[in-house]
Amino acid sequence: MTNPLRLGIAGLGTVGIGVVKIVQTHADLLATRAGRPIEIVAISARSRSKDRGVDLTGYAWEDDPVTLAKRDDIDVFIEVMGGDSGPAKASTEAAIASGKDVVSANKALLALHGQALAQAAEDAGRVIRFEAAVAGGIPVVKSLTEGLAANVITRVIGVMNGSCNYILTRMEDAGLPYQDVFDEANALGYLEADPELDVGGIDAAHKLALLSSIAFGTRVDFPAVELEGIGSVSIEDIRQAADMGYKIKLLGVAQMTGRGLEQRMSPCLVPETSPLGQLQGGTNMVVLEGDAVGQIVLRGAGAGEGPTASAVMADVIDIARGTRLSTFGQPASTLRKVRAAQASVAAPYYVRMELVDKPGALSKVAAILADAGVSIDRMRQYGHDDTAAPVLIVTHKTTRTALDAAIEGFARTDVVSGPPVAIRIEAE
């Protein structure tokens, strides 16, 4: 009889319990597809006494995940605790040093320490798999490392945080302001304990940094991601975008340019008829573009017990089958350290501002834009009262550098009230 693949699971939250349920309910299916039985040997979590709704009595318990990682009777260490350091990092390192393969759902850990961990694993002849760390149940890591391995990837673009997509689509559907929907999402448990990880774009930027590394053969560089959350997006922006045929999404974009690797996570306008524009609720979507294959669109649940546990077990089954891949699709020693490019690819921008109601205000704004090399495609004034004149401008293609220069120019005048809102218009 073929020896079983023995698992140790660190973390029994939503994802960890989802993994336990799959192993318990699909044992025969897993064995058939993997070519050998898969079984859980030991587990670890913060509380031993908590009722988690599944029978855990058949598994050995370790209070310390590092001790679990070092056990001689496990082959694969599954890290689903979370956190970019502390027990998650220490136990992952211990597992590698003890000759274990690692399956992780920890995007933050890999975004910050992925290069060192990948190198350590490969030096030890081990693998780290992390399909569950990016876009939940969507097999985007496998698509890049396997299905599209023969392509030069030209761009990665997508909605990678379901909570932000829920907030933006809910604002539009219900006509509610950002703060009301934020409070609603928080009360429903849709946001992290630290909501800024979601609405600030940090969670999604971790994922983008990982996909960039695979797509472009570069070292993971999370600090280089240009980051802007959705907190400045108003219901007025959503309505004005809709009037022009656009939707606002928190969009991750990575592409290699002549100036270096561009990575940004920020609100963008996308055509309402595009796949990304039609994405509703908490769903994720990642669009991959390759020189040979063209454009591939992957859509599905980006979080939750079942989808994320499904991704964990896909990696486990690959290991059981004997599939051995480098962490980021190629040996860690060959990953390039590249220069970061600051939004160098030109695009049109949506700019909303409030002008002080005085003669010549609009002409001053137009002159400042012209001096910065930014040309106006269209302009609209709406909701005028006796003190302020809200103005919406859509520019022709320009760089963010040029637009920022114009915005700085606005601040030096007496005709613009408050900071303008500038949102990139991203073509698909």
Place of tokens 């040093």: 97
Q: Of 3, 5, 1, 2, whose CA–CA distance to 313 is shortest?
A: 5
- Total Cβ atoms within 10 A of residue 138: 23
171's CB contacts (< 8 A; 6+ apart) are 177, 178, 181, 233, 235, 238
207 classed as catalytic? yes
Paired sense of beta strands 294-301 and 388-395, if any: unpaired
What six digits make up the tokens of 51? 């009722």
Catalytic residue among 70, 89, 100, 207: 207
Which stretches within 26-100 are classed as H helix? 27-34, 65-70, 86-97
Count the helix, strand and coil residues of the chain and give each as a percent rounded to the nearest 5: 40, 25, 35
How far, in Å, CA of 113 to CA of 220, rounded?
8
For 356, phi and psi rounded to 5 degrees? -65, 135
Residues annotated catalytic, as ranges:
207
